[in-house]
């Protein structure tokens, strides 16, 4: 069948489409229907079915006689380790950890925070929670203590599973002190912590609260899978909100299973036994969907990679792993390819490896610039597929579905809507615009299975953030256009979340940190174009009058503050002192105009500007930092 037939088939009868997709996963009790819309605009899928994610991802493959096949390959160029875990071994390890959690009182519905680096134990912790119906919330390993504390208070975990440390190319990241500090800061205290001690750093355990990973499991009865309802939360994953308060995206179990299983074959062309690698991190949505759950639900082999695209040890490390593990589909962020391209423009490292099994490269996480896609197409000679999705959706909104048919690639577009998603481009009044016109990208409700069901303990905020701007639609927060063939082009965020190396970060959260500095009266943070990272944050500081402190010192202090409060992932290094900020008469800072000046793009003088002369002052300040050169 062609893509168009499948998409039209979904549109004609969404209920039949998703019930058929649900046949491919295991249910203890089959759902009576797909869509539950009694509480619209809060929609649920497969709510009255009973299933278990861990059973679908692990046990059923063992029972089907595939227990000796590799489930997880761990590749750590930092520790020089390569290690495989079979489905049978994974089942034993996960049921042991689940049994220990159960013995300590973790039950169905309890939350568990996971704070770990890229090691197989991170996936084992996720699966162990799923096995007993506990709701995990993975927090990116090494995230600042303050950020971790906010998440502890929001989801009130019974337990936290962490590692003693994470490893960067030339340093050890001490997780345990960050964890201890976060628990001190948080009002809610977990009952206990489980610490996986790595040989690179053995952490000090707090008596009575902390257990070592292996000791914790000693002599424990392994746990069986607990059947849970289709609408039972599988996990909570926090995404940066523009208010600085994180939003806990809730993913429901049934829809998550059905949707991810569908995507593995139809989008990525991966079947049971194939080898799939998503070079991301378990802390992000890609890690949840396509390092842990998607490949394992399908019965494929997944790769857990602890390293960087360059410097661990060289710009060929991705290709070495793809060769050695005979990877069929590879998924990474445009940032990673840009970093490699910068180090190895001629592709000399690529030529060293035999990439016989590689059939496609998938990109997501930010807009893929045409330059990088053309470079990759030329160097690899396989389809380079940009696709678009969000933490909230959990899987691709728009993609080129290689497992159905390979559609023509249009550079700059993540291709077409996947079944379940009806994409509309709307004007400010909520009316569809004509093909080729820029507007807000919205998706007709209901969203498909596997997308967010709600925000954790914040239903009103969920409705306000996503469902109220355009009644009957989910607001993506992205702006873009659609062409006559239905190809979507994502042009910009409609709010001020910036994308630094695939990490979505709120400039609002950074502004909060800057404005906490005693000498800063007012500030703004914008995302400026960065060849390597896609965007990097740049701060403008207006100082309190009478402040005589050296400007360079203040800049240094705010840079340190952002690093401490938000973490190194923010990559906040540049700020300048200005006399005033450009604003509208109602007091809104004209961030969009400042970005255009910085990136040398043409801009119209905003009609509502208070004092046009300020834009020249901003341009001068930017030139001092090496921007706005045009």
> What's the rounded Cα separation, in Å, for the pair 455 and 237?
9
pLDDT band, residue 130 (cuts 50/70/90) = very high
Q: How far is CA 355 from CA 279, 309, 334, in A?
A: 16, 17, 19
pLDDT band, residue 497 (cuts 50/70/90) = low
Residue 461 burial by Cβ neighbours in a 10 Å radius (0-12, 13-18, 19+): middle
> What's the rounded Cα separation, in Å, for the pair 67 and 64?
8
The secondary structure element, H or E, covering residue 318 is helix 317-324
pLDDT band, residue 589 (cuts 50/70/90) = confident
Residue 332 burial by Cβ neighbours in a 10 Å radius (0-12, 13-18, 19+): buried
Whether residue 546 is contained in a domain is answered as: yes
pLDDT in tens, 361-391: 999 977 777 778 989 999 999 999 999 999 9
63, pLDDT greater than 70: yes
Calculate mean pLDDT across residues 563-576.
89
267, pLDDT greater than 90: yes
pLDDT band, residue 244 (cuts 50/70/90) = low
Whether residue 566 is contained in a domain is answered as: yes
429, pLDDT greater than 90: no
Residue 109's CB is within 10 A of a number of other CB atoms, namely 13
| R_g of the chain computed on alpha carbons | 24
Query: In sequence order, which residues have a C-beta less than 8 Å from that of residue 131 and are 6 or more positions away?
Result: 52, 54, 55, 94, 95, 98, 223, 224, 225, 226
Whether residue 334 is contained in a domain is answered as: no
515, pLDDT greater than 60: yes
The four Cα atoms 177, 178, 180, 182 give a dihedral, to 10 degrees, of 160
Dump the DSSP string for 445-498. SSPPTTSEEEETT-HHHHIIIIISSSTTEEEEEEEEEE-TT--EEEEEESSSEE
**pLDDT value for 629:** 85
Comparing CA positions, the residue from 547, 545, 537, 549 lying closest to residue 512 is 537
Residue 343 burial by Cβ neighbours in a 10 Å radius (0-12, 13-18, 19+): middle
502, pLDDT greater than 70: yes
Q: How far is CA 524 from the centre of its chain?
A: 25
Domain count, the chain: 2
Calculate mean pLDDT across residues 551-570.
92
Q: How far is CA 517 from CA 491, 542, 569, in A?
A: 34, 11, 20
592, pLDDT greater than 90: no
Q: What is the mean pLDDT of the chain?
A: 93
220, pLDDT greater than 70: yes
pLDDT band, residue 494 (cuts 50/70/90) = low
Whether residue 128 is contained in a domain is answered as: yes
> What's the rounded Cα separation, in Å, for the pair 407 and 400?
6
Residue 161 belongs to domain with CATH number: 3.40.50.980
Domain boundary among 205, 226, 247: 226
pTM of the model: 0.84
What sign does the CA torsion over 574, 575, 581, 584 have?
A: positive
Q: How far is CA 302 from the centre of its chain?
A: 17
Calculate mean pLDDT across residues 262-288.
96
**pLDDT value for 240:** 65
Domain boundary among 192, 226, 260: 226
pLDDT in tens, 291-307: 999 999 999 999 999 99
Residue 242, φ and ψ in degrees, nearest 5:
-70, -20
Whether residue 172 is contained in a domain is answered as: yes
> What's the rounded Cα separation, in Å, for the pair 193 and 134?
15
Pairing of strands 301-305, 452-455: unpaired
pLDDT band, residue 51 (cuts 50/70/90) = very high
pLDDT band, residue 483 (cuts 50/70/90) = very high
Whether residue 14 is contained in a domain is answered as: no
Residue 608 belongs to domain with CATH number: 3.30.300.30
**pLDDT value for 55:** 98
Tokens of 289: 């969907």
**pLDDT value for 338:** 80
Range(s) of the domain holding residue 593: 499-625
pLDDT band, residue 436 (cuts 50/70/90) = confident
**pLDDT value for 603:** 84
430, pLDDT greater than 60: yes
**pLDDT value for 480:** 85
> What's the rounded Cα separation, in Å, for the pair 181 and 113?
15
Calculate mean pLDDT across residues 475-501.
83
**pLDDT value for 495:** 58
Residue 539's DSSP bridge partners are 525, 575
Cis peptide before 27 (omega within 30 of 0): no
**pLDDT value for 511:** 83
Domain boundary among 226, 249, 266: 226
Q: Which of 90-104, 129-143, 497-511, 512-526 has the lowest mean pLDDT?
A: 497-511
| Most confident stretch, 194-208, 326-340, 507-521, 523-537 | 194-208
**pLDDT value for 518:** 85
Nearest 5°: the CA angle 450, 479, 150 is 55
506, pLDDT greater than 70: no
Whether residue 220 is contained in a domain is answered as: yes
**pLDDT value for 241:** 55
pLDDT band, residue 27 (cuts 50/70/90) = very high
Whether residue 194 is contained in a domain is answered as: yes
Comparing CA positions, the residue from 155, 195, 199, 153 lying closest to residue 177 is 195
Query: In sequence order, which residues have a C-beta less than 8 Å from that of residue 263 and are 6 or more positions away?
Result: 294, 395, 396, 418
């Amino acid at each position: 069948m062609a893509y168009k037939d499948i998409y039209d088939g979904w549109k004609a009868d969404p209920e039949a489409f998703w019930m058929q997709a649900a046949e491919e996963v295991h249910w203890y009790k089959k759902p009576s229907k797909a869509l539950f819309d009694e509480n619209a605009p809060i929609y649920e899928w497969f709510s009255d079915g009973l299933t278990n994610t861990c059973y679908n991802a692990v046990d059923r493959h063992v029972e089907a006689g595939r227990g000796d096949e590799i489930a997880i390959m761990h590749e750590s160029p930092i520790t020089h380790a390569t290690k495989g875990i079979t489905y049978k071994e994974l089942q034993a390890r996960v049921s042991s950890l689940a049994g220990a959690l159960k013995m300590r009182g973790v039950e169905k519905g309890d939350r568990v925070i996971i704070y770990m680096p890229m090691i197989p134990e991170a996936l084992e912790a996720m699966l162990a929670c799923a096995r007993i119906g506990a709701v995990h919330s993975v927090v990116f390993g090494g995230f600042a203590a303050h950020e971790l504390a906010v998440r502890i208070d929001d989801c009130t975990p019974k337990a936290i599973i962490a590692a003693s440390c994470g490893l960067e190319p030339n340093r050890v990241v001490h997780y345990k002190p960050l964890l201890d500090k976060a628990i001190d800061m948080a009002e809610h205290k977990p009952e206990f912590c489980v610490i996986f001690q790595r040989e690179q750093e053995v952490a000090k355990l707090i008596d009575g609260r902390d257990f070592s990973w292996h000791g914790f499991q000693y002599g424990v009865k392994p746990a069986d899978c607990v059947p849970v309802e289709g609408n039972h939360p599988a996990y909570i994953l926090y995404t940066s909100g523009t208010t600085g308060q994180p939003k806990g995206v809730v993913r429901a179990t049934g829809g998550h299973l059905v949707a991810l299983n569908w995507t593995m074959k139809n989008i990525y062309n991966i079947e049971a036994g194939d080898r799939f690698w998503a070079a991301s991190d378990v802390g992000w949505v890609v890690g949840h969907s396509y390092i842990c759950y998607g490949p394992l639900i399908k019965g494929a082999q997944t790769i857990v990679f602890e390293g960087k695209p360059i410097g661990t040890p060289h710009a060929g490390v991705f290709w070495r792993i793809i060769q050695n593990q005979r990877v069929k589909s590879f998924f990474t962020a445009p940032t990673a390819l840009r970093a490699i391209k910068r180090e190895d423009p001629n592709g000399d490292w690529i030529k060293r490896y035999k990439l016989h099994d590689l059939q496609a490269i998938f990109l997501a996480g930010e807009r893929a610039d045409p330059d990088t896609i053309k470079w990759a197409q030329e160097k690899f000679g396989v389809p380079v597929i940009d696709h678009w999705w969000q933490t909230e959706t959990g899987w691709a909104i728009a993609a080129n579905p290689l497992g159905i048919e390979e559609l023509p690639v249009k550079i700059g577009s993540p291709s077409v809507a996947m079944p379940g998603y009806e994409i509309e481009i709307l004007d400010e009044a909520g009316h569809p615009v004509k093909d080729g016109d820029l507007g807000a990208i919205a998706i007709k409700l209901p969203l498909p299975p596997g997308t967010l069901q709600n925000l954790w303990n914040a239903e009103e905020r969920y409705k306000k953030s996503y469902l109220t701007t355009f009644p009957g639609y989910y607001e993506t927060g992205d702006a873009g256009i659609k062409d006559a063939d239905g190809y979507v082009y994502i042009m910009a965020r409609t709010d001020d979340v910036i994308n630094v190396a695939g990490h979505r970060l709120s400039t609002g959260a950074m502004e909060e940190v800057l404005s906490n500095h005693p000498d800063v009266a007012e500030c703004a943070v914008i995302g400026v174009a960065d060849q390597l990272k896609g965007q990097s944050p740049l701060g403008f500081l207006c100082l309190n009058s009478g402040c005589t402190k050296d400007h360079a010192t203040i800049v240094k202090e705010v840079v340190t503050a952002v690093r401490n409060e938000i973490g190194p992932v923010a990559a906040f290094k540049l700020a300048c002192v200005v006399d005033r900020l450009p604003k509208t008469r109602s007091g809104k800072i004209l961030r969009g105009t400042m970005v255009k000046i910085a990136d040398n793009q043409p801009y119209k003088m905003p009609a509502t500007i208070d004092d046009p002369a300020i834009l020249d002052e901003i341009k001068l300040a930017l030139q001092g930092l090496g921007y706005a050169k045009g």
